[in-house]
Amino acid sequence: MDKSIKQILISTTQIKQRVKQLGIQLSADYKDKNLVIICVLKGAIVFLADLLRALSIPVELDFVRLSSYGKSAESSGVVQIIQNITSDIQHKDVLIVEDIVDTGTTLSSLKEALLSQKPSSLKTCALLNKPARRVKSITIEYVGFEIPNCFVVGYGLDYNEKYRNLPYIAVSDIDF
């Protein structure tokens, strides 16, 4: 284990089990719907890949890339759209797939932008929810795990573009 990793918070096995459960729940909830999944890059891509394999329904897929962290461990509070979706989501059911909801600022901005395109519904599936740092009131309909206020890496989450490849969620000793 890397010296900056303090502990494994959520194991590979726990992640696999929860992703499977989310896939079953989403497949039931969106059966016979016209679902468009919008993955928030880069962090949610690993979660998305496993979640897609756990779904038993057809979906459309699109990507959005946002930035509020830059190369810092702390959000700047300013959300920039680096890459926008290309799908027409009007009158479609949309599910945002996010790696982690921290302050809620990024997700709140994204939801506002997507709602302006008049989807039939807009919900969120986040692998991790960190409510202790929330500054924006935000609803997350599907949550993988609720975590304490610590800096985590792995399973797509990074620090300065590193650690995304870890197969688990780990607490890092990176200071805020």
| Rounded Cα gap, residues 148 and 170, in angstroms | 12
List 32, 93, 102, 175, catalytic entry: 102
Does the annotation count 102 as an active-site position? yes
Say how many residues make up the chain: 176
The answer to whether the CB of 136 falls within 8 A of the CB of 117 is: no
| Rounded Cα gap, residues 165 and 38, in angstroms | 21
SS3 of residue 135 by DSSP: coil
Angle at 61 between CA 55 and CA 67, to 5 degrees: 115
**Torsion, Cα of 60, 62, 68, 71 (10° steps):** 120
Active-site annotation, residues: 102
